[in-house]
């Protein structure tokens, strides 16, 4: 019989090219370029987060070198170029690329000017709190795992995300014959729209947009019009215009235009270079000076005007000839059930709802099976306590532990439920019945697992106190799993009560509560709120009260600075005054150092202090 290796097969070039190209295309589409609509992640991002999770690289632990994480990802899960993996890590750590970063980076991770990140041997990373919400309950058999490239490790097919990350952080990628481009959205708005969809599955896109009016871009800027956004939510494709945010200032006697927010994914350095080039070529008239005054406190591009310049005309030319105004094309392509699809907003919510349904189902089954195993062990221990002297004699006389185990399992032990709750355990089907072991008319026959638990039991378990604790464990199991018969038909029950389950504190509302930690308010939005709504927005944020008289000149100075620049940039006198006033009004030392980054007077009612990017302190002015 001839070996297949020595045989020659005839194939046409067209057939071979078609088959090979299709295999390549599907590999790129499914395995690299497109995100899954359930967790919003591409395979490389999912594998990075999983590797960090496995290493215990959590927010409450010290940072680890990026090179160490990258080695685990490439060596175990993602056999591709290390540069592509590091680029993915860097992007997940950039606040100007993602609305809610998944990686907490320490070191140089690039800038909005297009600067490259430092080499992986210099930077350090760990998971963010938001990233942990994507990994919650991963160890409870909530998702399927697949073998890695060599079969020695297993990788989750999808993460048990608590929120629709496909919309929250968005995604972009180019596959073969298709591409995806989804803008980031605000977590709180997305969750509000999703919960409205659960309550009203037949709701229109217009109703959903009342909760989620549009994208929330990390670099800010204004979105002009909503028609393109509505079209994208209805069809999966759309287009909207983004315009930079600016205000006028007078600097050294000259009128100036100051840009504080620029469109998403625009390189600030190239933008300034383009404006300078147009001014040099006389294509933009009226520019006296151009400076980049951006620092750690925020973005600030200053254009000083000539004396006779028309600022409105100049702004129109800037919008037309530079990327201060640009368009963003939405193309919400993602993997749905392993197949690339153009997704509408309702389809995204529907897929995520089914994903959460499966996670809740599998998690409940896992916990129920764990409770059954625990109840089975506890019943064996209660049998041992009822026959403790006989069991001690048997163990003492047995030549080996193996013999002792066999004798424990081979004998019928006198036992009856110690109380009504043990009988209830059997009636609720938590404990196994109609098996070779267990309770019968002849007595109780121990299983191998129960025998192991008895042999491993320490002597202090024989005390009266420990016996009471054993009974308490039984009662706790009864309370937690009193509806065990319903769990046998869990799919039907979940289908009937999905709204209750999703709204429960143990499930998706944890993500809504967690969103307070990631909330970044817009000053323009805050100024439109009444007092009650303002305090609701900052519920849980440290608050205090002070009279206008107590702040006197200090408050006026802070208000003036806020109205002019919106930041207390480098004015040391302002910082010192703010610190003194803050300490005088609160015993907890609101600003115990000089790291207050901004102070805004909202509607002459509240002084909002900001420290860093996400930490706020509210002072109510009486």
Distances (CA, A) of 279 to 15, 190, 308, 319: 57, 42, 16, 14
Token pair recorded at residue 206: 């217009």
Token pair recorded at residue 600: 């805004």
Active-site residue, 122 included? yes
Between CA 427 and CA 300 the distance in angstroms is: 70
The half-sphere exposure of 167 on its side-chain side, counting CA atoms within 13 A, is: 30
Q: Angle at the Cα of 103 (from 101 to 105), degrees rounded to 5? A: 110
Pairing between strand 245-251 and 237-243?
Answer: unpaired
Closest CA to 242 of 217, 267, 224, 219: 224
Closest CA to 370 of 480, 471, 452: 480
Phi-psi region of 186 (alpha: psi -120 to 50; beta: other; left: phi over 0): beta
DSSP code at position 462: G
DSSP code at position 286: S
Among 122, 149, 206, 594, which one carries the catalytic annotation?
A: 122
CB 608 within 8 Å of CB 602: yes
Q: Helix or strand or coil: residue 389?
A: helix
Q: Characterize 228-242 residue by residue with b for buried, 16 or more Cβ atoms within 10 angstroms of its Cβ, and e for exposed.
A: bbbbbbeebbbebbb
DSSP code at position 419: S
Closest CA to 99 of 215, 201, 16: 215
Closest CA to 524 of 320, 261, 251: 261
CB 418 within 8 Å of CB 471: yes
Between CA 28 and CA 38 the distance in angstroms is: 19
CB 343 within 8 Å of CB 190: no
Q: Helix or strand or coil: residue 347?
A: helix
Between CA 112 and CA 264 the distance in angstroms is: 10
DSSP code at position 117: P
CB 99 within 8 Å of CB 85: no
CB 243 within 8 Å of CB 319: yes
The residue assigned the tokens 């009822």 is 386
Token pair recorded at residue 444: 């109780």
**The total number of residues written for the chain in this structure:** 622
Closest CA to 323 of 271, 272, 369: 271
Show which residues are catalytic.
122
């Amino acid at each position: 019989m001839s070996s297949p290796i020595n045989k020659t097969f005839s194939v046409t070039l067209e057939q071979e090219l078609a088959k090979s190209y299709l295999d390549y295309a599907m590999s790129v589409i499914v395995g690299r370029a497109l995100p899954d609509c359930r967790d919003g992640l591409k395979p490389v991002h999912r594998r990075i987060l999983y590797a960090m999770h496995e290493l215990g690289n959590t927010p409450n632990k010290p940072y680890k070198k990026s090179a160490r994480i990258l080695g685990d990802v490439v060596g175990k899960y993602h056999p591709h170029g290390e540069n592509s993996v590091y680029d993915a890590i860097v992007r997940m750590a950039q606040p100007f690329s993602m609305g809610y970063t998944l990686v907490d980076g320490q070191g140089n991770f690039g800038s909005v000017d297009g600067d490259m990140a430092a080499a992986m041997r210099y930077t350090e990373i760990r998971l963010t709190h938001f990233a942990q919400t994507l990994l919650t309950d991963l160890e409870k058999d909530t998702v399927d795992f697949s073998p890695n490239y060599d079969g020695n490790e297993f990788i989750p097919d999808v993460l048990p995300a608590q929120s629709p990350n496909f919309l929250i952080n968005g995604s972009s990628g180019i596959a073969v014959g298709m591409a995806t481009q989804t803008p980031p959205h605000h977590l709180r708005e997305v969750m509000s729209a999703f919960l409205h969809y659960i309550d009203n599955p037949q709701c229109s896109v217009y109703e959903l947009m009342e909760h989620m009016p549009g994208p929330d871009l990390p670099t800010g800027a204004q979105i002009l019009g909503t028609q393109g956004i509505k079209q994208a939510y209805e069809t999966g494709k759309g287009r909207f215009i983004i315009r930079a945010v600016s205000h006028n200032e007078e600097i050294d006697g000259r009128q100036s235009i100051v840009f504080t927010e620029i469109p998403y994914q625009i390189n600030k350095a190239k933008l300034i270079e383009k404006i300078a080039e147009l001014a040099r070529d006389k294509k933009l008239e009226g520019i006296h000076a151009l400076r980049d005054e951006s620092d750690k406190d925020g973005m600030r591009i200053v254009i000083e005007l000539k004396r006779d310049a028309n600022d409105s005309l100049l702004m129109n030319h800037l919008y037309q000839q530079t990327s201060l105004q640009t368009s963003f094309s939405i193309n919400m392509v993602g993997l749905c059930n392993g197949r690339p699809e153009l997704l509408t907003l309702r389809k995204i919510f529907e897929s995520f709802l089914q994903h959460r349904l499966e996670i809740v189902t599998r998690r409940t089954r896992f916990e129920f099976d764990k409770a059954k195993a625990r109840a089975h062990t506890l019943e064996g221990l209660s049998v041992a306590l009822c026959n403790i002297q006989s069991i001690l004699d048997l163990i003492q006389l047995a030549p080996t532990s193996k013999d002792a185990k066999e004798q424990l399992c081979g004998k019928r032990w006198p036992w009856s439920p110690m109380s009504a709750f043990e009988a209830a355990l059997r009636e609720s089907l938590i404990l196994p019945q109609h098996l070779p072991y267990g309770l019968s008319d002849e007595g109780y026959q121990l299983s191998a697992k129960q025998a192991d638990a008895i042999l491993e039991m320490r002597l202090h378990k024989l005390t009266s106190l420990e016996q009471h604790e054993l009974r308490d464990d039984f009662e706790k199991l009864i309370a937690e799993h009193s509806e065990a018969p319903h769990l046998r038909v869990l799919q039907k029950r979940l289908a009937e009560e999905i709204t209750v389950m999703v709204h429960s504190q143990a499930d998706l509302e944890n993500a809504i509560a967690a969103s307070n930690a990631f909330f970044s308010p817009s000053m323009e939005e805050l100024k439109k709120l009444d007092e009650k709504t303002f305090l609701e927005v900052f519920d849980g944020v440290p608050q205090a009260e002070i009279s206008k008289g107590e702040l006197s000149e200090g408050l006026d100075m802070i208000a003036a600075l806020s109205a002019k620049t919106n930041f207390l940039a480098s004015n040391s006198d302002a910082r010192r005054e703010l610190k003194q006033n803050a300490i005088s009004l609160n015993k907890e030392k609101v600003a115990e150092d000089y790291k207050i980054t901004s102070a805004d007077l909202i509607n002459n009612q509240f002084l909002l202090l900001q420290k860093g990017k996400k930490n706020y302190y509210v002072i109510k002015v009486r």
